[in-house]
Amino acid sequence: MWYNNPMNKLVVLDNGLKVVVCENPSVRSLAAGVFVGAGSVNEEGEKSGISHLIEHMVFKGTERRSAFDIVNETDSVGAQLNAYTSKTHTCYYTVSRDIHADKCLDVLADMYFNPKFDAAELEKEKKVVLEELNESEDTPDDVCMEKLASAVYKGHALERSILGTKKTLKALSAEDLHAYKNKFYVPTDTVLSLAGNISEADAVGLAEKYFGKAPVVESPARRLEAATVKGHFAHKKKQIEQAHIAFGFPGIAYESDETFALKLLSSAFGMEMSSRLFQNVREKLGLCYSIIGYPTSYINNGSYVIYTSTSPENVELAVKAIRAEIERLLEGGITGEELAKSKEQLKTSMVLGQESTSAVMRAFGRHAVTTGELYDIDDNIRKIDEVTLKDISAVAEKVFDFERVSASFVGGEIVDIHKMMKGI
């Protein structure tokens, strides 16, 4: 187990790169992740989607390796190699046996420092990403959530799509990718997260070997400003069987301790099968197959999202049912029994997440690239235990502001669910 583990360390190299080490000698695996503080929030409008396109292109070859070499070398040692892009960061990672740590770090560092961004390969990969974009646009819940982000964060960096648009993707050049990568892929905004059977000395040694020679560069990233959440409605007409609806309320910022109260509220209200939304909107009223309410959080920003899909004739009933559950929550809060259950659910989820090398690597890496600090599960469990019913009621009052709620709708005939939720 990793929690309450004095072998979890954060070391900063001379060039500013942070190394997170989560040592667990009881396993024989190692997960290694390179987290770069560059995501869609860093992109200028005409460069929308460039972070994600770079994530694709680093797999297409480096100065030392062809695209085949990259995957063949990791496959040859049985390692998993993958990557993802979020709104705030990009991650490249491997999961392997511990004896292949050197090979995996060699490949990851080569991808990080030396991508070729070959022009011919770029044009081919643009087609791949455009197909990914087309697939997303054919997925109504994806469209609904993209629309919701544009409504909640209208005019703010968090509004931007990770995939970009067809227009911006087609316009991006190899020179654009090199310029963006050279600006943001710098040690001061990079975290190397290592979890598994590796000592601190070996981890730092590998970090120095593969990342330590990079020069010191001042961070270009700006702290994410707080969005002014006023409440907007975004929608898209699609000829589909169901209506997809989502609401976004003002949330809690990542760095705030109130996130724990909101997570516990969410567990009782919208996250679990025993939650109020699931039990009352689905089980009792039969208005949907699935429904969920959950918080999202970023530095200085956050939102609380409620999403479901239902038959067009049931849209008004579903919206009224969701609003009724929110009003009941605001009037009476949650019960002591619900709070106790939520605490156990959240703590268990956190603890079980610490039993996988890849999950630990991701959790510690995300936290470090977001805050610059070492993730502390025991401190988080303590904060969960300290949350009271009064704290839950206070955060509910703060979040469920009908004057500032945003909404998105995807369906055959547009219904103004925004006005319904606001009670207009």
Q: Which residues are catalytic?
A: 55
What is the sign, positive or negative, of the torsion defined by CA atoms of 264, 268, 269, 275? positive
| DSSP state, residue 225 | P
Measured CA to CA in angstroms, residue 253 lies from 16, 130, 146, 224 at distances of 26, 32, 20, 11
Measured CA to CA in angstroms, residue 10 lies from 35, 96, 174, 315 at distances of 14, 22, 35, 49
CA distance 87 to 83: 14
Burial of 108 (0-12, 13-18, 19+ CB in 10 A): buried
Of 12, 87, 11, the residue nearest 303 (C-alpha): 87
Name residue 263's amino acid: K
In contact, 211 and 192? CB cutoff 8 Å? yes
CA distance 193 to 191: 6
- How does 336-347 read in b/e, with b if 16+ C-beta sit within 10 Å? eebbebbbebbb
Which two tokens mark 393? 């009621």
CA distance 350 to 345: 9
Q: Interhelix angle for 67-76 vs 101-113, to 10°?
A: 160
CA distance 104 to 316: 53
CA distance 334 to 254: 23
257 backbone dihedrals φ, ψ, rounded to 5°? -70, -15
